[in-house]
Amino acid sequence: MSIHAIVLLITFSAFLRAQSVEASQAPVEFLGRFSNMVVNEATDHEFGSEVLLWHDNSQLFGHFIHQEGAIGLEPTGVLSAVSYNPKTHFLSFKSKLTIGFHPKGPTKDVFTFTGKFESNTLVGTLSRVDMANPKNTRTSEEVVLKKKEEIDPAWNKFKGKKEWDVFTREVLKKVGPKW
Under 8 Å between Cβ of 111 and 64? yes
Residue 5 Cα to chain centre, angstroms? 46
Q: Domain extents for the chain?
A: 27-175
Nearest residue to 61 (alpha-carbon basis) of 94, 106, 37: 94
Q: Residue 69 and residue 77: Cα distance in Å, rounded?
A: 17
Write out pLDDT tens, residues 68-88.
988 887 999 999 999 999 999
pLDDT band at 18 (very low <50, low <70, confident <90, very high): very low
CA–CA distance, 118 with 109 (Å, rounded to integer): 26
Give the integer Cα–Cα distance in Å for 21 and 162.
Answer: 10
- Biggest CA pair distance of the chain: 79
What is the predicted pLDDT for the residue at 23? Answer: 47
Alpha-carbon Rg for the chain, nearest whole angstrom, is 20
All residues at 6 or more sequence positions from 48 whose CB lies less than 8 Å from its CB, including other chains = 35, 36, 37, 38, 66, 67
Most confident of 21-25, 68-72, 139-143: 139-143
Cα–Cα distance list, 113 to 20, 91, 92, 123 (Å): 32, 8, 5, 9
Indicate the SS3 state at residue 74.
coil
Terminal Cα-to-Cα distance of the chain (whole angstroms): 53
Of 84 and 23, more confident:
84
Q: How many residues does the chain have?
A: 179
Q: What gap in Å lies between CA 100 and CA 53, rounded to an integer?
A: 24
